[in-house]
A and B are shown apart, each in its own frame.
Chain A
Amino acid sequence: MIPEIGHFALIMALVVSVVLTVLPLLGATFSNERWVALAKPAARMQLLFMLLAYGCLTYAFITFDFSVRYVASTSHSSLPLLYRISGVWGAHEGSLLLWALILSLWMGAVTVFSRSIPRVMLARVLGVMGFVAVGFLLFLLVTSNPFERLIPAPADGRSLNPLLQDPGLAIHPPMLYMGYVGFSVAFAFAVAAMLGGKLDAAWTRWVRPWTNIAWMFLTLGIALGSWWAYYELGWGGWWFWDPVENASLMPWLVGTALIHSLAVSEKRGAFKAWTVLLAVFAFSLSLLGTFLVRSGVLTSVHAFASDPGRGLFILLFLATVVGLSLTLYAFRADRFKSDVSFQLFSRETGLLLNNVILVVMTATVLLGTLYPLVLDALGVGKLSVGPPYFNSVMVPLGIPLVIVMGLGVLLRWKRDSISRLGTDLALLVIIAVGVGLLFSLLLHYDWEGYDWEGMAAIGLIMAVWIAVTTLFWVWKQKRTASVWGAALAHAGMAIMIIGISLTSLYSSEKDIRLSAGQQYQLAGYDFQFQGVKKVSDVSYDAYQGIVDISRNGQPVSHLEPQKRVYRVQTMPMTEAGIDAGLFRDLFVALGEPLEGDAWSLRVYHKPFIRWIWLGAILMAVGGILAAGDRRYRLKVEGRSHA
């Protein structure tokens, strides 16, 4: 009975979304006040139905209702409560339901925090989001109904993919979706502005906090995914340039560009058409990501059941949403011409360069991700574009980006001169180069004895450059919440750059063969293998290796990496043993049993890897801080215009 209620709620949500799309948008065009007024209650009612539907599916999971096909294929009677709740988004149908629910949550949030927004604008924003909701709800109901029954009901389910039975991954998809779907708010505002034909500073003040919050979630979601891949896949890497990862990186890059271009639009009234285009792109790339992951057109290490029929639906939907908004853009963009000019040497130019570099980065990722598909489509051959491509492109693009990042905050709006900045700039450059070099030499001579690497020195100089310019900027500024937010986000970037450069350059890894009692030295640490014992848990049996790590005779850590076999799926899984630290991780993964009591093991020494995720967390905190700036909450006077 409960699943039927859920199914019904989903249908009702679709009906309400259709109403929400049609009436307020028409009302806004034909000045029908009553239709415009419908937007808010309709959006809230839609949220109510979505909550009901989602609650019903969660209930089916918690109560082990295996007569629901989706529950039977993703749950099992041995799953603990946490993974029954997170199992709801453990596969295709449920994650789409979560996607749709999050969209409704964003719509609900818009209705709550909309006091300063003119009603016609609000009606358009909610109408556009309602349109997106119609697409996703249709997709759910037509191709991927999570409430479909399985009669007769099996005695037990097939269980959740063991890879997903992990707290890190349990919260990764909701975070990522909050980010993806969050860009729909900026998108809806952009479309609403195009429909209304007007884009002013007030508009940017409505959009900025929403964009920041969506960006924050996306940052956290990507970081969580990277962290999960690091410890759960047992590969010890933190980024693989896998199509699924690229799909989430592209909206992030464009979203970052959007945040900066919005700043120009707000402060200077420039870049308006460009801002609108970026808002459309950020959400389009989120949809494209969903398409790539769900349609199976690309080979990915991520195992999502893929289905061309579903892919076709998403493609049509993508074409409709993005095609319509870009057509609208083609006809309306010339209304957003900038009425101001700026000098070559100004903050506007800095932010323009930031945007150009970020967009070029997005394009290179898109090219590398889609090119194999292009060749396949043309029948030329099958190929893949490996991580070296992305690395060799992103590094040279990243360096100018970082230089501009530091310069941009120093420059004044509209016009600036080298003579004004002269001494300060020279000082900051000297500090950055000096301190960066000093650190790189310290790493070499005094502390860890790493080889001196030019790239490490460059990475450190870049990081210090961002840090000192940010500090200088904060010192000279009126310190509002958005200044603090931007400063934190930039500082996060500095920390992440340190993590990325030092991890990439100084990691050591080795596949080794050890018998019980043997030891191996890596990066000054002695890994002593004590043998393997068998252990069991509720859902798996495992071999557990015992590895003691010492340095210069002093014990450092005791790790117990596991090789698990999950009983229900008979799927083997490597659970690495990690000794985490601020300056280095020690990582041991169990390979396979060899002759006698020997095993193959993979050992890593990963310096500064935590700084990557630490930086991401700082950026996210910066994002939310900036979103809370007082000026976004001020009521806009004179709401007469639409």
Chain B
Amino acid sequence: MTPVRKKRLWLILALVLGVGVSAALVLQAFNQNMMFYYSPKDIKAGQAPANHDFRVGGLVVAGTVKRDPSSLDVHFDVTDLTETVTVKYTGILPDLFREGQGIIARGRLLPDGVVEAAEVLAKHDENYMPPEVADSLPHKPAEEAQ
């Protein structure tokens, strides 16, 4: 092998190694940060993971939004029109959060079946709700998440 070739080989090896390492990095980060979406029915059926963040969406049931008078805790029920789950959140709800409105909450499941949300999102668009919510309302079967 000529010296030039040898150096080129090193360069290519280094590049392949670098790209390989970053690909591994990416995939690992990916696996840790994927968040599946579950409808209230999935959660009632016990499909939601117990120790991993996920997203839940549905319509906010009218009359269930309850604020704790002395703190920023708020409870409300979310329904896919089949099942209902209670969501607990501490903080300020988004501008477009209203009863009857479709929302998505990100959080984890507590042992008592309540979802403790770290974040609540309502879509900017008034005319439509997030596609995930729209999809899950008339529940699609066979949406298995491994």
Give residues in A with beta carbon < 8 Å to B.
163, 234, 296, 299, 301-303, 305, 341, 343-344, 349, 352-353, 356, 360, 364, 367-368, 371, 379-386, 388-389, 392-393, 396-397, 400, 511-513, 569, 571-574, 589, 591-592, 594-595, 600-602
Task: Determine whether the beta carbon of A381 is less than 8 Å from that of B145.
Answer: yes
Cβ-based interface call for B116 (8 A):
no
Say which residue of A360, A384, A386, A592 sits within 8 Å of B19 (CB atoms).
Answer: A360
- Per-residue CB contact flags for chain B residues 1-44 toward chain A (1 = under 8 Å, else 0) read 00010010011000100110010011001101111110000000
Say which residue of B121, B131, B142, B145 sits within 8 Å of A301 (CB atoms).
Answer: B121
Q: Determine the distance from Cα of A396 to Cα of B33 in the docked complex, in whole angstroms.
A: 16
Task: Determine whether the beta carbon of A303 is less than 8 Å from that of B124.
Answer: yes
Q: A343-B7, A383-B35 are in contact. Are A392 and B71 (CB under 8 A)?
A: no
- Per-residue CB contact flags for chain B residues 109-144 toward chain A (1 = under 8 Å, else 0) read 000000000000101111100111001100000111
Cβ-based interface call for B55 (8 A):
yes
Task: Determine whether the beta carbon of A385 is less than 8 Å from that of B30.
Answer: yes
Cβ-based interface call for B100 (8 A):
no
Minimum distance in angstroms from B72 CB to a CB of chain A? 5
Task: Determine whether the beta carbon of B143 is less than 8 Å from that of A385.
Answer: no
Residues of A within 8 A of B18 (CB): 353, 356, 400
Task: Determine whether the beta carbon of B130 is less than 8 Å from that of A382.
Answer: no
Minimum distance in angstroms from B80 CB to a CB of chain A? 13
Minimum distance in angstroms from A292 CB to a CB of chain B? 14
Closest residue of chain B to A383 (Cβ to Cβ) is B36
Residues of B within 8 A of A589 (CB): 92
Say which residue of B22, B25, B33 sits within 8 Å of A388 (CB atoms).
Answer: B33
Known: A360-B22, A382-B143, A400-B18. 15 other contacts (CB 8 A): A344-B7, A364-B26, A367-B26, A371-B30, A379-B142, A382-B132, A382-B136, A385-B30, A393-B22, A397-B22, A397-B25, A574-B95, A589-B92, A592-B92, A600-B72
Task: Determine whether the beta carbon of B123 is less than 8 Å from that of A393.
Answer: no
Task: Determine whether the beta carbon of A382 is less than 8 Å from that of B37.
Answer: yes
Q: Determine the distance from Cα of A571 to Cα of B95 in the docked complex, in whole angstroms.
A: 8
Task: Determine whether the beta carbon of B29 is less than 8 Å from that of A392.
Answer: yes
Task: Determine whether the beta carbon of A301 is less than 8 Å from that of B123.
Answer: yes
Residues of A within 8 A of B15 (CB): 352, 356
Task: Determine whether the beta carbon of B69 is less than 8 Å from that of A381.
Answer: no
Cβ-based interface call for B84 (8 A):
no
Residues of A within 8 A of B34 (CB): 371, 383-385, 389
Task: Determine whether the beta carbon of A349 is less than 8 Å from that of B11.
Answer: yes
Q: Determine the distance from Cα of A344 to Cα of B10 in the docked complex, in whole angstroms.
A: 8
Closest residue of chain B to A235 (Cβ to Cβ) is B94
Residues of B within 8 A of A381 (CB): 36-37, 143-145
Q: Determine the distance from Cα of A379 to Cα of B135 in the docked complex, in whole angstroms.
A: 12
Task: Determine whether the beta carbon of B36 is less than 8 Å from that of A602.
Answer: no
Cβ-based interface call for B66 (8 A):
no
Task: Determine whether the beta carbon of B69 is less than 8 Å from that of A299.
Answer: no
Q: How many residues of B contact A (CB 8 A)?
A: 47
Q: Determine the distance from Cα of A352 to Cα of B18 in the docked complex, in whole angstroms.
A: 12
Q: Determine the distance from Cα of A601 to Cα of B135 in the docked complex, in whole angstroms.
A: 34
Closest residue of chain B to A381 (Cβ to Cβ) is B145
Q: Determine the distance from Cα of A379 to Cα of B141 in the docked complex, in whole angstroms.
A: 11
Say which residue of A379, A385, A573, A601 sits within 8 Å of B35 (CB atoms).
Answer: A385
Q: Determine the distance from Cα of A572 to Cα of B124 in the docked complex, in whole angstroms.
A: 10
Task: Determine whether the beta carbon of B124 is less than 8 Å from that of A384.
Answer: no
Residues of B within 8 A of A595 (CB): 69
Closest residue of chain B to A589 (Cβ to Cβ) is B92
Closest residue of chain A to B106 (Cβ to Cβ) is A386
Say which residue of A302, A364, A385, A389 sits within 8 Å of B124 (CB atoms).
Answer: A302
Task: Determine whether the beta carbon of B33 is less than 8 Å from that of A386.
Answer: yes
Residues of B within 8 A of A386 (CB): 33, 35, 53, 106
Q: A382-B132, A592-B92 are in contact. Are A393 and B26 (CB under 8 A)?
A: yes
Q: Determine the distance from Cα of A389 to Cα of B143 in the docked complex, in whole angstroms.
A: 24
Name the 9 nearest CB pairs between A and B, nearest first: A303-B124, A591-B92, A389-B33, A303-B125, A511-B91, A382-B37, A392-B29, A572-B95, A344-B7
Closest residue of chain A to B3 (Cβ to Cβ) is A343
Cβ-based interface call for B62 (8 A):
no
Q: Determine the distance from Cα of A600 to Cα of B69 in the docked complex, in whole angstroms.
A: 11
Q: Determine the distance from Cα of A353 to Cα of B14 in the docked complex, in whole angstroms.
A: 10
Instruction: Name the interface residues of B34-73: CB closer than 8 Å to any CB of A.
Output: 34-37, 53, 55, 67, 69-72
Minimum distance in angstroms from B103 CB to a CB of chain A? 13
Residue among A353, A397, A592 having the largest count of chain B Cβ atoms under 10 Å: A592
Task: Determine whether the beta carbon of A368 is less than 8 Å from that of B30.
Answer: yes
Q: Determine the distance from Cα of A400 to Cα of B14 in the docked complex, in whole angstroms.
A: 13
Task: Determine whether the beta carbon of A392 is less than 8 Å from that of B37.
Answer: no
Cβ-based interface call for B81 (8 A):
no
Residues of B within 8 A of A305 (CB): 125, 127
Minimum distance in angstroms from A417 CB to a CB of chain B? 13
Residues of A within 8 A of B32 (CB): 388-389, 392
Closest residue of chain A to B53 (Cβ to Cβ) is A386
Minimum distance in angstroms from A340 CB to a CB of chain B? 12
Residues of A within 8 A of B33 (CB): 385-386, 388-389, 392
Minimum distance in angstroms from A527 CB to a CB of chain B? 15
Residues of A within 8 A of B69 (CB): 594-595
Residues of B within 8 A of A389 (CB): 29-30, 32-34
Q: Determine the distance from Cα of A247 to Cα of B31 in the docked complex, in whole angstroms.
A: 22
Q: Determine the distance from Cα of A353 to Cα of B53 in the docked complex, in whole angstroms.
A: 36
Q: A299-B131, A513-B71, A573-B95 are in contact. Are A393 and B29 (CB under 8 A)?
A: yes
Closest residue of chain A to B7 (Cβ to Cβ) is A344
Task: Determine whether the beta carbon of A396 is less than 8 Å from that of B25.
Answer: yes
Residues of B within 8 A of A356 (CB): 15, 18-19
Say which residue of A299, A396, A600 sits within 8 Å of B130 (CB atoms).
Answer: A299
Closest residue of chain B to A595 (Cβ to Cβ) is B69
Say which residue of B4, B11, B72 sits within 8 Å of A511 (CB atoms).
Answer: B72
Residues of A within 8 A of B90 (CB): 511
Closest residue of chain B to A343 (Cβ to Cβ) is B7
8 contacting pairs across A/B (C-beta < 8 A)? A371-B34, A384-B35, A386-B106, A392-B32, A513-B71, A571-B126, A572-B96, A601-B92
Minimum distance in angstroms from A396 CB to a CB of chain B? 6
Closest residue of chain A to B36 (Cβ to Cβ) is A383
Q: A393-B29, A396-B25, A512-B72 are in contact. Are A602 and B92 (CB under 8 A)?
A: yes
Minimum distance in angstroms from B104 CB to a CB of chain A? 9
